[in-house]
Amino acid sequence: MPSDEDLGPQLSGRLGYLLKRAHLGLAELHEEVLAPFGVSDRELAILLLLDGREPESQQQLAHRLGVDRTTMVALIDALERKELVARRPDPADRRRNVIALTDAGQQTRRDATRASDEAERRLLHDLDDAEADRFRALLRRVARPRRD
Amino acid sequence: MPSDEDLGPQLSGRLGYLLKRAHLGLAELHEEVLAPFGVSDRELAILLLLDGREPESQQQLAHRLGVDRTTMVALIDALERKELVARRPDPADRRRNVIALTDAGQQTRRDATRASDEAERRLLHDLDDAEADRFRALLRRVARPRRD
DNA sequence: TATTGTTATACTCTATAACTATA
DNA sequence: TATAGTTATAGAGTATAACAATA
């Protein structure tokens, strides 16, 4: 990724550029800290989505993650291969797969979440605690779902 | 994009999710406000990169944009088709193409930048002016290039 | 030999359409 | 008929490898 001097003030101050760089920076940190646990940031999101909920179908999960159900198939495939989640047919409706965290999945969720916390801390490294809280609070308001 | 209730507190508060949503929200706003000018946010970035600089080769431009030179080819192709930029061979080194904004490109840069300002304002709609300034200042510090 | 722009190719991520098994 | 999961396929967006022109 280029530095500010490369870009010039016209582009380097634009919100789109800043958000992209922050997002990309966090993605890189996540890749680094999650590597020991064998999951991607994306997969951690699914583990978090599954945790502490009634077991759900792939389709419900896909909807909550904001992807198509066809996209969900490969994501669950990967997590199942790693034995972090299990598919079982819903007895009440055998068209459905119910997805649940395995014990290993629970453990990975805990460990990977701690690692992700560390990635977030490193992203906000230049901010003191009060500034970090302020940033998070403002970002939450900016990230509100659009009301079109 | 799913709402907070869909996600649950475990995922909806994570920085990665918030940054992604803010970034995506701005991308959607940009698509809307830039449509009348026939350029994408990506293309506006290139127009801004070209503005007020010594003319540069495709490769220099690619480096500053943070993409491969092979990727730059199609981006310049599109802008050239719209007659917003012009390629001309560098007389001093005929391997190179020098890329320059056309008059129409200058005009589009001005108009599209104003539209992008509007998109940024709409993204920050829930913040008052002081909060928006604070958010920008904090984001700049978070978006610092990683010093690995 | 090395570099610039280009093309061909492949890889990732995603969605749409079509298939199957169930309902 | 309609729905859940799946597969095949296609479209972005990106990169790597190879090629022609030039240095």
Q: Which nt is closest to the CA of B67, judged by C1'?
A: D14
- The boundaries of the domain holding residue A127 are 34-142
- Residue B45 inside a domain? The answer is yes
Write the DSSP assignment of B75-135 as a string of letters: HHHHHHHTTSEEEEEETTEEEEEEEEE-HHHHHHHHHHHHHHHHHHHHHTTTS-HHHHHHH
Please name the residues in contact with B21: beta carbons below 8 A apart, sequence gap of 6 or more.
A143, A145, B1
- Residue A78 inside a domain? The answer is yes
Q: Per-residue pLDDT tens for B90-132?
A: 999 999 999 999 999 999 999 999 999 999 999 999 999 999 9
- Residue A16 inside a domain? The answer is no
Closest CA to B22 of A138, A35, A44: A138
Cα separation of B138 and B145, whole Å?
14
- Residue B80 inside a domain? The answer is yes
- Residue B12 inside a domain? The answer is no
Q: Tell me which chain B residues have a C-beta less than 8 angstroms from the C-beta of A10.
A: 48-49, 51-52
Q: Which nt is closest to the CA of A68, judged by C1'?
A: C15
- Residue A2 inside a domain? The answer is no
- Residue A6 inside a domain? The answer is no
Checking phi first, is residue A21 left (phi over 0); if not, alpha (psi -120 to 50) or beta?
Answer: alpha
CATH code at B109?
A: 1.10.10.10
Cα separation of A85 and A102, whole Å?
5
- Residue B23 inside a domain? The answer is yes
Number of domains composing chain A? 1
pLDDT tens, position by position, for chain A (148 residues)?
677 767 777 898 999 999 999 999 999 999 999 999 999 999 999 999 999 888 899 999 999 999 999 999 999 999 999 999 999 999 999 999 999 999 999 999 999 999 999 999 999 999 999 999 999 999 999 997 654 3
